Amino acid sequence: MNPTFDPDSWSPEATATMETISTASQGSALLTTVNLAYIIAAILFIFGLKLLSSARTAPRGNMISAAGMLLAVTVTLLDQQILSYTALAIGVVLGAAIGAVAAYKVRMTGMPEMVALFNGFGGMASLLVGWSEWHFLAGLPALAMTQPLAFSQSVIALAVLIGGITFTGSLMAFLKLSGRITGRAVVFRGQKLLNLAVAAVILGAIVAYVLTGQSGAAYPVFIGLLILALTLGVLGVLPIGGGDMPVVIALLNSLSGLAAAAAGFAISNTVLIVAGCLVGASGLILTVIMCKAMNRSLGNVLFSGFGSTASSGTKGAVQGEMKPIGCQDLYYVLEAANRVVFIPGYGMAVAQAQHLVRELGEILEHNCTEVCYAIHPVAGRMPGHMNVLLAEADVPYEQLMEMEPINAAMEQTDVAVVIGANDVVNPAASDDPTSPIYGMPIINAHQAKTVICLKRGQGAGFSGLQNELFFRENTRMYYGDAKSSIQNLVSEFKES
């Protein structure tokens, strides 16, 4: 006969032991559930990132990645000991309100600045996580630590370093892109040596911080590291010109991911490590693609000071005359064309002309004209800027063509319409060895039978270089604001 177990008859020691076993069992089950949820979230991140590689599947990929992040955040809130759900709720509401207002008010021309700010806030979040973890470790007994103190301090230092550089570097990019400070590269004597000295002091501060352990000297060293990281972010972006901003934004995006991964190691959060590594790797790949599109190394972009007065000088000055064309004459040129290629640039974004460009394209298609849009990887002020604008205007994805296939067909193009683009169509990149952009792959608009350039005036582009294309025999300048100019052209077609 089996004995009957009566918990009420157990001794206090036995009861405490059983409660400990039960708590441990529940904790183990919760940990298994949390890790499983993190794995699912990581899979959603990877799958969503894959879908982001195509404009057609990007909206679905964005939703899948958002679902993965929602799962990760929810599980983390259930897993961790939260100090105050009220504070979290207030933060969520305030953040959502600010994000909604920003999304509603920011125009498409302000998207590069918005992306730069997003990268910066991501870096600051990682910095604050590292700073908070430092305070937590400072009062934690050595026996209570789940990982070696030296490792914890190293990843905290990396989170603060990369996060600080990302934050102030992104703020500098925001100020340059928004015109609050000069968009040109700012260089001065001894700048590279200063940056190198700051970087060397930072490495020394990291070593000193790790060696000081939990002693009283650790905090001053930590604060010094934080200040130096913020300073290096400013000094690093200062000598980079506005023409290189697509590369800078991609690199800062990568750094924000690496900062998040370091913060994940600091707080032992698996999903934060995975998400940070994905963002860091994808941002670095995009940075390499941007550099390849300009035929320049990352070091050249970061340290050459391209776009400064000193680096540009009088290079790029072109002798000749720009030949204008009127709306009615341009109507006849387009009306007779069999193939038209639109080449958008930042000028189209400034004028908010993408919807009218799409309308003009549809009118030409109804006139039995083949229409497509040539997209240069670094056109605009951020990666994919032109794709975003044209997608917003509902331009069919199949009409968006990358640089290589469009160049192969450019000689068979009757009219190339350049809307606010400059360096990405400048023939000096292939013809003039003295040009600062020599060797940069461009869209060969000059090979079309006729080139129409929409431009406000006769000034140089954002990089400060004059465009040889404007002086070619087969080029005509259609002056004025791109939106009103195309509107007049559309009206001319409708009237006819």
Active-site annotation, residues: 423
For 490, the enclosing helix (H) or strand (E) is: helix 482-495
179 φψ region: left (φ > 0), alpha (ψ -120 to 50), beta (else): left
In Å, how far are 229, 268, 491 from 138, measured between CA atoms?
21, 17, 70
Collapsing DSSP to helix, strand or coil, 416 comes out as strand
376 and 403 in contact (C-beta within 8 Å)? yes
In Å, how far are 81, 150, 434 from 141, measured between CA atoms?
19, 14, 64
Q: Alpha helix locations (H) across 213-269?
A: 218-237, 245-267
Which tokens in the block code for residue 120? 């910066």
Q: Which residues pair with 324 in a beta bridge?
A: 477
243 and 462 in contact (C-beta within 8 Å)? yes
In Å, how far are 45, 131, 250, 405, 409 from 279, measured between CA atoms?
10, 22, 10, 29, 35
316 φψ region: left (φ > 0), alpha (ψ -120 to 50), beta (else): left
Backbone angles phi, psi at 326, to 5 degrees: -90, 170
Instruction: Name the CA dihedral angle for 449, 369, 361, 492, rounded to a multiple of 10 degrees.
Output: 80
Which tokens in the block code for residue 204? 């020394």
Collapsing DSSP to helix, strand or coil, 418 comes out as strand
For 47, the enclosing helix (H) or strand (E) is: helix 12-51
Rounded Cα distance between 164 and 223, Å, is 12
Q: Which residues pair with 455 in a beta bridge?
A: 479
Collapsing DSSP to helix, strand or coil, 219 comes out as helix
